[in-house]
Amino acid sequence: MVKKRLPGVLLALLIMFIGGLGADIIGFLIQNMQGVSTTAPSPISGIFVAILVGLIIKNTIGVHSIFTPGLQFSVKFLLKLGIVLIGLRLSFMEIMNVGGWVLPIVLSCILIGLVFTMWLSHLLKQSLRLGSLIAVGTGICGITAILATSPSIKSNDEETSYAIANITIFGLISMFFYPFLSFYLFNNDPVLVGIFLGTALHDTSQVTGAALMYTQYFEQEVVLEVATITKLIRNVLIVVFVPLISYFYLRKSNSSSKSFGTWKSIFPIFVLWFVLMSLVRTTGDLTFINYGRAFFLFNENTWENLWNSISNFGAQTLLGTALASIGLLTNMKIFKGLGFKPFYIGMAAALIVGVTSYIFVLVLGSFINY
């Protein structure tokens, strides 16, 4: 079994590394043209480039069947493991420091984004699975939410790739536009700008990229901190909304039956492991604060390097490999059948989330102390 899977996994790893290198080169060129320091992290997601490279290979020279078992293994197992390890990035203590007013803003953006996107998908007579993926990608946390929801609603690789491409395109457009817009909308208030960027943009890489751009252009370090914490709050809510979306999908798709399957078909088990990793991170932080060593073993630098290394391995290597595999498995012919309507849905969803974020940040932002 290992011999059958190894070629595909190695191919996906290679494409993932090529994607990361390509993102660095593209990001360097963009930053250079914009006059931003080229020593900053690339604003372009290596994951997106890896998907794009995989798609190009699949739909030009093709992929030999010897790679299929490993590519499928990457999508089904490595993907979930990568999401689990990302949980180490989240400490619940960081959420408390921002204040209770951020949560209502985040919830409002998520709920309005989900409801609007699902309604528009129904109005335009699009696939319930595809509409669900675009909704969670736009409303919750971009690619991670799509990947967490996809197994629960049994979406195929083409729908997953389409949804990822959808939210990535509009997220990247917003990433370059929102830093400058938010400067004028919030009169250069770093806390309000950080919350806006953390709620209006889709993927974590996009939030970080926009916040870094703002920090460098307008010299407001607080923006990056607040935007990151706000995004982490959105990310942890994946454990609430992924089961809800899964339940909604199963209920709609089995409306003539009273049975929606077992609870395991509604709640993805790996999401619980994601929460467990977050609890591990929080416990380590608490024991360091109270006793000077995380878990009574690790000093500050060792503990930070440990959880950073593990979570980065999950986010970059495992998810990058899984997403490169999706690209290598996806035949672009499927998009002829889906058409452009899903992109209209993604564009409208991105706009409604941005407007919702602006309104609620403006109304509730003044109550936040940071």
DSSP letter string, 305-334? HHHHHHHHIIIIIIHHHHHHHHHHH--TTH
CB atoms within 10 A of CB 110: 25
**CA 73 – CA 3 distance, rounded (Å):** 12
Residues sharing a CB contact under 8 Å with residue 44, sequence separation 6 or more, in sequence order: 23, 26, 27, 30, 172, 209
User: String of b and e for 289-325 (b: at least 16 CB within 10 Å)?
Assistant: eeeeebeeebeeeebeebbeebbebbbbbbbbbbbbb
CA 83 remoteness from chain centre: 10
Count the domains in the chain.
Answer: 1
CB atoms within 10 A of CB 150: 25
Taking CA 311 as the corner, what is the angle to CA 307 and CA 315, rounded to the nearest 5 degrees?
A: 165
What does the pLDDT profile of the chain (370 residues) look like in tens digits?
778 899 999 999 999 889 888 877 877 777 677 665 555 556 566 776 787 888 889 888 988 889 999 998 988 788 778 878 877 877 776 666 665 678 888 888 888 888 888 888 778 877 778 888 888 888 777 777 787 777 777 777 777 777 877 777 777 778 778 888 988 888 888 888 888 998 888 877 677 777 777 776 776 777 877 787 788 778 777 777 777 777 777 676 664 444 444 455 445 577 678 778 888 999 998 998 888 888 888 888 899 899 888 888 877 788 788 878 888 887 766 556 556 777 788 888 889 888 988 998 888 877 666 5
pLDDT for 245: 76
Please state the pTM of the whole predicted model: 0.64
Instruction: Enumerate long-range contacts of 112-119, CB under 8 Å, 24 or more apart.
Output: 112/139, 112/352, 112/353, 112/356, 113/138, 113/139, 113/349, 113/352, 113/353, 113/356, 114/139, 114/140, 114/241, 114/245, 116/348, 116/349, 116/352, 117/345, 117/348, 117/349, 117/352, 118/248
The values of phi and psi at residue 333, to 5°, are -60, -25
pLDDT for 337: 56
Taking CA 97 as the corner, what is the angle to CA 313 and CA 298, rounded to the nearest 5 degrees?
A: 45
**CA 51 – CA 53 distance, rounded (Å):** 6
Residues sharing a CB contact under 8 Å with residue 52, sequence separation 6 or more, in sequence order: 19, 327
Domain that holds residue 53: 2-367
**CA 298 – CA 294 distance, rounded (Å):** 5
**CA 342 – CA 169 distance, rounded (Å):** 12
